[in-house]
Amino acid sequence: MVNSRALVVLALLLHSLVALVSAKGSNSTSKWQTLSGDAPLVIARGGFSGLFPGFSSAAYSLALATSVPDVVLWCDVQLTKDGDGICFPDLVLNNNSDIQDVFAKKDKTYLVNGVSTSGWFTVDYTFSDLANVVVTQGIYSRTNKFDGNLYPILTVEGVAMQFKPQGLWLNVQHDIFFTQHNLSMRNYVLSVSRKVVVNYISSPEVAFLNGIKARVSPSATKLVFRFLGQDDTEPSTKQTYGSLLKNLTYIKTFASGILIPKTYIWPVTKDLYLEPHTSIVLDAHKAGLTVFASDFVNDVPLAYNYSYDPVSEYLNFVDNGDFSVDGVLSDFPITPSAAIDCFAHLGNNASGQARPLVISKYGASGDFPSCTDLAYSKAIADGVDVLDCPVQISKDGIPFCSSSINLIDSTAVAQSSFSNLTTVIPEIKAGSGIYTFSLTWEEIKSLTPIISNPWSRYTLFRSPRTKTVGKYLTLSDFLTLAQKSSSLSGVLIGVEYAAYLAEEQRLSVTDKVIAALSKAGFDNQTALDVKIQSSNSSVLMKFKEKTKYELVYSIEENIGDALSSTIEDIKKFAGSVVINKASILPETQAFVTGVTDVVPKLQAAKLAVYVELFSNEFVSQAWDFFSDPTVEINSFVSGFNIDGVITDYPKTAARYKRNRCLSEKELPNYMSPIQAASLIQVVSADYLPPAEAPNPPLTASDVIEPPLPSVESALAPGPTGSSTVGHPPPPNRQPKIAAGFFLSTLAMLFATLFLL
């Protein structure tokens, strides 16, 4: 029944991963604050249900292939009409399978814990009836592209015998419901425990656990009481779970551990910020109970304290200095595997590898408004290597750091008294804007900065409590801040729109930058490297003529190749390049579709390669990276040996460089780069996204430009008295010509003669 092509490709995908190591990494001997002192367990809910349909063969296989060796496979046990036990997330089948298509209009309504519930229930079908029903993705924000692979519903015995996990966890959520339908979950669980090894049995029903405690061996099978919402009522005692939580001594009489929602441990405010942790873990450990935390997923908004970084969340539960939970229940088991084995107990002084450079994108702009003092200070505290300042220039000629020349993009200027300064400048952008050169520096300083929200279309927003804090810095103040830092290795100064500013505003941003760097002493110091970045070769040529700084060429277009002749042209004015992630791993509908040779070509020409943009929000990553920014960073760094990562969340990238697994001779599965385009091969033909044309190669016409005009030459009128800047520019902003340096110089000479 299963799509044979999908199984073959999936097997190849799993085989391509690094072989399972026989023991955990160096962290396995560390002292943990768990009840036993051992590392916390990773429990995979339905396998790797964050990607594949939960409780499917693919989900269980991927969990085993990408997690710690002792990962525990979780199975929600449901009973069929004939008493077979299946692994399925709910007793209602229609949300995670296609049963409504196989048995149309066969839904029924039953009371479940007193609540009227409608759907297709497991108790109305024998296991044979379910032979033609396939498992599908039940969480609609996740990809449905694997629903065509016809994954069958699995029995408990099938999961145990097919995958042979080191740990198997059975969760019994609705014993009372099955009893009402003349099915004995107690008898089934005891029977299956004699056939296969069951390491953990959990239930939110006290009576069920009490009913089996005398029939299971406590050394072989641990009983765990599962807590639901604190105001929910436990059906057999009629007490709320909140009241039962206050009587851990009673829980200890029938269970060896508790499974609680993570908010029981770290409560969250209504606006998604952490409150101080409770004492529940310490109290449970004092009572001799292990504590397992649930509800860990990578693809929902986390508390803002974690900056959308799921590894940070796990570390807060296992390595906070006060306690550690004994295990975590996750839909994405690769993430807690790496958190526990690679990142826990690092300490603040753990040394990291030199490469890649961690380069900020407007400071820590994922946490604070871009290019503000607070964004820069946090980036430094988070361990950034290179601090960036995209230079804009005010009406009175003051260079300062701002993410955009259009103040509407980063400030509340449109709601200020300067809203009447809106103008249309097609040379810069389509539509209207309020530009930095229309306001003085004193006026710009008075504006309220606004945090960027690049993923607001997915209703994902950045920290609301810090969305309007901080102040902007002049370039001089920025350089002073960088010089005071003992951890930075360099600064990156971005220069754009230089030609327009010179020709139309009579402002030389290049001269301002050179003067500020010289005044700050960067001409003669060696403590901090200076990188000048621009998407315009003419800007970099001017800096090459007047300075000795590292020059970085930004290729804004997604490219599929770089011609050798074009690379040689780039080397004439730059020693490094910035490219987009899609120029290395192109995507279609968030699936990686292939790999280019752009990086090896550029590096073979002795050009350093910096890649952007690495963000923590899960929607910024292809499905291949499992909604985990660390997996994405690792895949680009380990897979392609890039020289630098450009990120708006420097803490995640800086921590990655320090992880202990990178020093191991053999990388564990969860620290191995993805195999490019392997995931899309698992998608069945009828679910494949449409093929897209490959990205074009980078050619000389994309790179070569006329020399940058000086402010003095811009004072002379053109042939018609109008600007020499033409129509809206291509992606690299300044109009380009497909000519060599000699031809462009000749063209400028001809224009000068014409004016005479």
Strand pairing partners for 358?
Answer: 645
Helix and strand totals (H; E) in the chain? 25, 27
Inter-residue contact 646 to 359 (CB < 8 Å)? yes
Per-residue pLDDT, averaged over 206-218, amounts to 96
Pairwise CA distance, residues 485 & 467, whole Å: 25
Quick: pLDDT tens for 282-324. 999 999 999 999 999 999 999 999 999 999 999 999 999 999 9
Strand pairing partners for 240?
Answer: 233
Pairwise CA distance, residues 642 & 580, whole Å: 12
Q: What is the pLDDT of residue 755?
A: 32
Quick: pLDDT tens for 55-94. 999 999 999 999 999 999 999 999 999 999 999 999 999 9
Pairwise CA distance, residues 127 & 84, whole Å: 7
- Higher pLDDT, residue 347 or 712: 347
CA 493 to the chain's CA centroid:
26
Quick: pLDDT tens for 605-637. 999 999 999 999 999 999 999 999 999 999 999
Q: What is the pLDDT of residue 490?
A: 97
Peptide bond into 473 cis (omega under 30): no
Inter-residue contact 572 to 655 (CB < 8 Å)? no
Residues 6 or more apart whose Cβ sits within 8 Å of residue 416: 446, 447, 448
Per-residue pLDDT, averaged over 585-592, amounts to 96
Which residue intervals of 649-740 are DSSP H helices? 650-658, 700-703, 711-714
Write phi, then psi, for 255 (nearest 5 degrees): -145, 155
Q: Output the six-digit token pair for 125.
A: 């079908």
Question: DSSP assignment, residue 164?
Answer: -
Q: Which of 216-220, 315-319, 499-503, 722-726 has the lowest mean pLDDT?
A: 722-726
- Reference 404, options 462, 457, 444; nearest CA is 444
Pairwise CA distance, residues 718 & 736, whole Å: 19
Q: What is the pLDDT of residue 30?
A: 54
CA-CA distances (angstroms) from residue 533 to 178, 376, 746? 66, 18, 27
Which residue intervals of 156-286 are DSSP H helices? 156-163, 175-180, 185-195, 206-212, 241-245, 248-251, 280-286
Inter-residue contact 530 to 517 (CB < 8 Å)? yes
Q: Output the six-digit token pair for 326.
A: 């004994």
Q: What is the pLDDT of residue 4?
A: 45
Q: What is the pLDDT of residue 352?
A: 73
Per-residue pLDDT, averaged over 244-272, amounts to 98
How high is the mean pLDDT of the chain? Answer: 91
Q: What is the pLDDT of residue 713?
A: 57
Pairwise CA distance, residues 320 & 303, whole Å: 16
Peptide bond into 719 cis (omega under 30): no
Question: DSSP assignment, residue 472?
Answer: B
Sequence letter at residue 75: C
Pairwise CA distance, residues 749 & 740, whole Å: 14
Per-residue pLDDT, averaged over 679-687, amounts to 95
Per-residue pLDDT, averaged over 181-202, amounts to 97
- Reference 68, options 35, 31, 88, 38; nearest CA is 38
Sequence letter at residue 390: P
Q: Which of 24-28, 198-202, 501-505, 585-589 has the lowest mean pLDDT?
A: 24-28
Quick: pLDDT tens for 227-253. 999 999 999 999 999 999 999 999 999
Q: List the domains of the chain with CATH numbers.
A: 41-92+153-343 (3.20.20.190), 357-687 (3.20.20.190)
Inter-residue contact 48 to 333 (CB < 8 Å)? yes
| pLDDT of 720 higher than 50 | no
The full DSSP string for 551-601 is EEEE--S--SEE-HHHHHHHHTT-SEEEEEGGGTS-EETTEE----SHHHH
State which H helix or E strand residue 315 sits in. Answer: helix 310-318
Confidence band (pLDDT; 50, 70, 90) for 487? very high
